[in-house]
Structure 1
């Protein structure tokens, strides 16, 4: 199947998940606001979620999927692939249990390292430790979900893995509703975060059950045997260790940002995480979808030593990424006050919190194109089993991020912290491309540059229109619900119409390339 078809499948379900996630965050902001309980929950949510992205969806996926894909394409075919999967599962499950148990025991030390300043607020540190222990089992289940998704992705079955996050958000929404009802008129926000934290772990279990059913439905059978470190499992482990760092600069930066954010005034961590949710909307829909779709396809091209198809595949992915992320970044930066006021401000979330969150969002989305492009460049290394290079680039970017944080947080607070994250992601992107280009694995062509230039023209036209519309519509986003919704529809619809109209006129996307991508096979992707 084509890259566009794979990406559309993942992106469609991811969009559905992001919509439910957006509803979840709106409810959470209005029910909890930016206070003690909100900060404690955000820290408890960040810990397993960041480890999930770092290990399960990051290092494990980029290491396991290419190896499993090569087994499927090799002489042993299904039999070798099934044996490899069983061996990995039999070791992986005990590693997960051991890591989760140790982390829960050591949770006071972990929270102290990340949020030592919480000790200065009565009850905040203790609540953070308790909630983190409640949420951490989520990592165990979601890591198994990542493996099951990898089995299906290697067979070009992307839908189940993309549907799982929808279940996650539905369970969390139920948790917010349950916690709100439990709190009642008491005003004690702890009831909300107790229920919500339990819902996090429950959501992991629900996703695991669904993926297990999907794997069995696809005709695959997994069995847990006596753990055995076979040569293939050892090789996987050797790839995972450096890939943990190389694939997870954004996630590692989350820990760095969390550390600095917890040293700032109360509510800063909550506002940062809420703003990042807006940033994650296009990142998840475009970046994760493209990265997930490209890895097994790129691995097959490299396995068959077809350099031309590998180059075309990454070039197509790059073009699709910029087509969507350039306007998304510009629109979010210009319209941040509108989105924040329309959706988040209300209940316990105050207008002054909305102002700060808007500035944080503007700073974060400056790095949005880089966040997405990294998802496309990293597979170029991982598909070749090269995990050392991303480690080096990630280390340089992370050190840069820490130094920048030390300098900007004192002067610009939480907004400066968000800007530093965007800068470090951009640096990582540039370093990755420079190495790929130098090794002849991927190069930026004149045709691709010309296409992106035309996309920038369309983005500039859209930005000018949005800036003018914001000047007229901004007061409406603090009005009644009907006025907010109608103004948002006008703003978003107008921006999209202008971008795609101008993009069509100036040729921001090659129409022939779209047709090639839509076909089941063709020169753009080389899929048979």
Structure 2
């Protein structure tokens, strides 16, 4: 399968998750708006979600995958099974201890880490503690699921791990539908959603567990022991967790800061949901596929193939990300109005969330590029350098957020986030160049400016179209008119952008497909016989 085909496999599954996520957020916005319950739920969910990104997705998709792939090549499937059982025993034990500790410490954690600004509101603080306590076991389920997802990715079985997150949104949509049927008040909705999150964790774990068994690996429980393989994993995992979850670290810090003003946490969460669509579909797909592919190429000494993988990946993500960033920048308000403005979600909330979303659009290319650059370090088992750069970006984010938040609120925090993202992306790229680990080719250098031109023209066209279609996109129009107008505008913008991209030479479909083909002659001997066709 071509690299672009693998991107499409993961991207399609992620797109499904994000679309269901939109439906979930639309229902949630109508049910709880940006009020105290929404702030409490989003703050409480942020905590286990941050740990999931740090110690699950961040650590295992960057540290576990290269080691698991190495074990397959060195000792076959039996060695990989033994390694995975060693890791599972330690991980399961640590997660159980961590969950118990966090559950007992939740009031202190909410007071000091999650939302210190809630302390003055006793009801809001108590609800946040209770909701976080209900949801925290989700972390244990997702950490184990991430390990198994890493195993599946190493075996080139991408779909199950990518599709599993869809079930979180499906379950929560079902919860919101039931709450609407039973006429729940906002607080009852918040508690119902929390129980739904915990249930979704078990469902997602079951999906990847079954997929791993179907791939031919049955994991048994071993007494936790610090073997050489486990020690090596931990050495790589800690910095990898920090690096891979840098966005979540910044979000957790920003949630802490944002708790000082009513409605800011939920406004950031609603904007984040929209901007996660292009980031998830493009960025996560590339990061998930590129790491194992790059690790195998480097392990086999195929330096030319590795360079081609990196350049074509950046070319691919910029081709899809630049128009998304331009669209979020200029048409954030009609998007937010259509998706959220109903029920308890007011017109003033639309303005705030739209402003934050437009700022996020400026940072979208940076966060996608980070996901394309980091595999260049992790595939070489260097997790320390990206960790240092991640720490620098955290310092930038915190200092800017503390400076801007008192005057600008949520938009100030969003500005801090995207600035930190661009700093991180620039540092990663500069180091890859300096070490000679990134070979820029002429097609990449010539296509990026042309893609920027196409995205810029599209943004200008959207700006004037919004002025012409102001009434059709306003809240005075029916939802059918707004939906039709918005869809037509998006489709016309896509035609304009892709037309310009191909006409100017910023994109060439045939060349991209040929460039992304895996060089079967060079790598066929490395592919495990259990790989899915």
> Within 2, Cα distance between the matches of 1:138 and 1:191?
20
Residue 17 to residue 357, structure 1, CA distance change in 2 (3 Å): same
Q: Which residue of the partner structure matches residue 169 of structure 2?
A: 169
Contact kept? 1:54, 1:247, Cα under 8 Å:
yes
Corresponding residue to 1:216 among 207, 213, 230 = 213
Structure 2 equivalent of residue 317 of structure 1: 313
Please tell me whether the aligned partners of residues 363 and 419 of structure 1 are also in contact (alpha carbons under 8 angstroms). yes
Q: 1:175 to 1:487 in 2, by over 3 A?
A: same
Q: Is the 8 A contact 1:335 1:470 kept in 2?
A: yes
Moved more, 218-227 or 131-140: 218-227
1:30: how far off? 0.7
Q: How far did residue 522 of structure 1 move?
A: 6.7
In the TM superposition, residue 121 of structure 1 has moved relative to its aligned partner by 2.0
Shift of 1:521: 3.5
Task: Identify which range, 244-253 or 319-328, moves more after superposition.
Answer: 244-253
Alignment match, 2:190: 193
d(CA) in 2 for partners of 1:189, 1:112: 23
Structure 1 spans left out of the alignment, 5+ residues: none
Note if contact 2:4-2:513 (Cα within 8 Å) is conserved in structure 1: no
Aligned partner of 1:96 in structure 2 is 95
Unaligned runs of 5+ in 2: 528-533
- Deviation of 1:447 after TM superposition, in Å, equals 2.4
Partners of 2:124 and 2:517 lie apart in 1 by: 56
**1:176 CA drift (Å):** 1.5
One of 448, 456, 459 as aligned partner of 2:452: 456
CA deviations on 1:143-195 (whole Å, 9 max, x unpaired) are 111111111110110000111011111011112223334444xxx31110110
Taking a change above 3 Å as real, the CA distance of residues 519 and 115 of structure 1, as seen in their structure-2 partners, is closer
Distance 1:524 1:50 in 2: 39
Change (3 A) 1:288 1:329: same
> Partner residue of 1:376?
372
Give, in whole Å, the separation in 2 of the partners of 1:400 and 1:123.
33
Deviation at 1:225, TM superposition (A): 1.4
On the 8 A contact 2:329/2:361 being kept in 1, the answer is yes
Q: Which moved more, 1:169-178 or 1:495-504?
A: 169-178
Provide the rounded CA distance (Å) in 2 between the counterparts of 1:409 and 1:389: 30
- Aligned partner of 2:249 among 252, 267, 271: 252
Once the two structures are TM-superposed, the CA of residue 132 in structure 1 deviates from its matched residue by: 0.2
Q: Which residue of the partner structure matches residue 511 of structure 2?
A: 513
CA distance in 2, matches of 1:426, 1:131: 34
1:303-314 matched pairs, under 5 angstroms = 303-314=299-310
After superposition, the CA RMSD in angstroms is 1.6
Q: Distance in 1 between matches of 2:469 and 2:134?
A: 43
Matches within 5 A, 1:227-376: 227-264=224-261, 266-376=262-372
Question: What residue in structure 2 maps to residue 11 of structure 1?
Answer: 11
Q: SS at the partner of 2:495? A: helix
Give the Cα–Cα distance (whole angstroms) in 1 for the partners of residues 439 and 403 of structure 2: 35
Q: Please give the per-residue CA displacement for 1:248-279, whole angstroms capped at 9, x wherever unaligned.
A: 21111011110111112x11100111001111
Aligned partner of 2:199 in structure 1 is: 202
Quote the Cα distance in structure 2 between the aligned partners of 1:138 and 1:474: 43
Residue of structure 1 equivalent to 2:530: none
Q: 1:342 to 1:523 in 2, by over 3 A?
A: farther
**1:525, 1:348 → 2: CA distance?**
56
Q: What CA deviation, in whole Å up to 9, does each residue of 1:209-244 have, x standing for no partner?
A: 111111112222110111111100111011111212
- Given that 1:183 and 1:192 are in contact with CA atoms closer than 8 Å, whether structure 2 keeps it comes out as no
Distance 1:157 1:367 in 2: 31
CA distance in 2 between partners of 1:235 and 1:521 (Å):
31
> What is the rounded CA distance, in whole Å, between the counterparts of 1:511 and 1:201 in structure 2?
43
Label 1:423 to 1:414 Cα distance change in 2 as closer, same or farther (>3 A): same
Per-residue Cα deviation, 1:276-325 (whole angstroms, up to 9, x for no partner): 11111100000000000000011111112222111110101000010011
8 Å CA contact 2:297–2:523 kept in 1: the answer is no
Give the distance between the partners of 1:517 and 1:159, measured in 2 at CA. 23
Q: Is 1:20–2:20 an aligned residue pair?
A: yes
Q: Structure 1 residue 79 and structure 2 residue 75: aligned?
A: no
Q: What does residue 147 of structure 2 align with? A: 147
1:410 positional shift: 2.0
Corresponding position of 2:494: 496
CA separation in 1, counterparts of 2:441 and 2:523?
Answer: 16
Change in 2 beyond 3 A, CA 1:121/1:181:
farther
Tell me how far 1:507 sits from its aligned partner: 1.3
Q: Is the 8 A contact 2:57 2:244 kept in 1?
A: no
Provide the C-alpha distance between the structure 1 equivalents of 2:522 and 2:172, rounded to a whole number of angstroms: 40
Question: Does structure 2 retain, via aligned residues, the 8 Å contact 1:49–1:139?
Answer: yes
Distance 1:410 1:519 in 2: 51
Inter-partner Cα distance in structure 2 for 1:232 and 1:83: 10
Q: Which residue of 2 aligns with 1:401?
A: 397
Q: Distance in 2 between matches of 1:61 and 1:431?
A: 21
Distance 1:377 1:73 in 2: 25
Q: Which residue is 1:422 aligned to?
A: 418
Query: Per-residue displacement from partner, 1:317-340 (whole Å, max 9, x unpaired)?
Result: 000010011110000111101101
CA distance in structure 2 between the aligned counterparts of 1:31 and 1:289, rounded to whole angstroms: 32
Shift of 1:525: 9.7
Secondary structure of the structure 2 residue equivalent to 1:120: coil
Name the structure 1 match of 2:222: 225
Task: State the Cα distance separating 1:53 from its structure 2 match.
Answer: 1.0
Distance in 2 between residues matched to 1:445 and 1:272, nearest whole Å: 38
